[in-house]
Amino acid sequence: MTALLAAVAAALVVGLVGAAGTLRVARSSVRWATILGPVTVVLAVGAGLLVGTSKMLIGDARVVLLILGAVLPVALLMGVFVSVRSNRIMTDVRTRLDGERRRREIEEGRLELITWLSHDLRTPLAGIRAMAEALIDGVASDPQAYHRAIVVDADRTTTMVNDLMALASLKSKLTSRTTETVVMADLVSDLLGQLRPLAHSRGMELVGELNTTTSDVNGDTSLLTRAVQNVVVNAINYSTPGTRVNLALDSAAGWVVVSVTDGCGRLEPDTLAHMFEAGWRRDTARTPNASAGSGLGLAIVKAVVEAHSGRVQVNNTVDGCTMVLQLPAA
pLDDT per position as a tens digit, 47-77? 666 676 666 555 555 665 566 666 667 666 6
Residues 310/301, Cβ–Cβ less than 8 Å: no
pLDDT per position as a tens digit, 7-43? 667 767 777 777 777 767 766 766 666 666 666 776 6
pLDDT band for 284, please (50, 70, 90 cuts). Answer: very low
Mean pLDDT of the chain: 77
pLDDT band for 259, please (50, 70, 90 cuts). Answer: very high
Q: Give the whole-number percent of the chain exceeding pLDDT 90.
A: 11
**0.85 cut: is pTM over it?**
no
3-state DSSP assignment of residue 203: coil
Residues 325/228, Cβ–Cβ less than 8 Å: yes
Q: How many CB atoms lie within 10 A of CB 108?
A: 10
pLDDT per position as a tens digit, 306-329? 888 899 998 888 888 899 999 999
For helices 61-137 and 2-26, give the axis angle rounded to 10 degrees.
Answer: 10
pLDDT per position as a tens digit, 170-217? 666 555 567 889 999 999 999 998 889 888 988 889 999 988 888 899
285: pLDDT strictly greater than 60: no
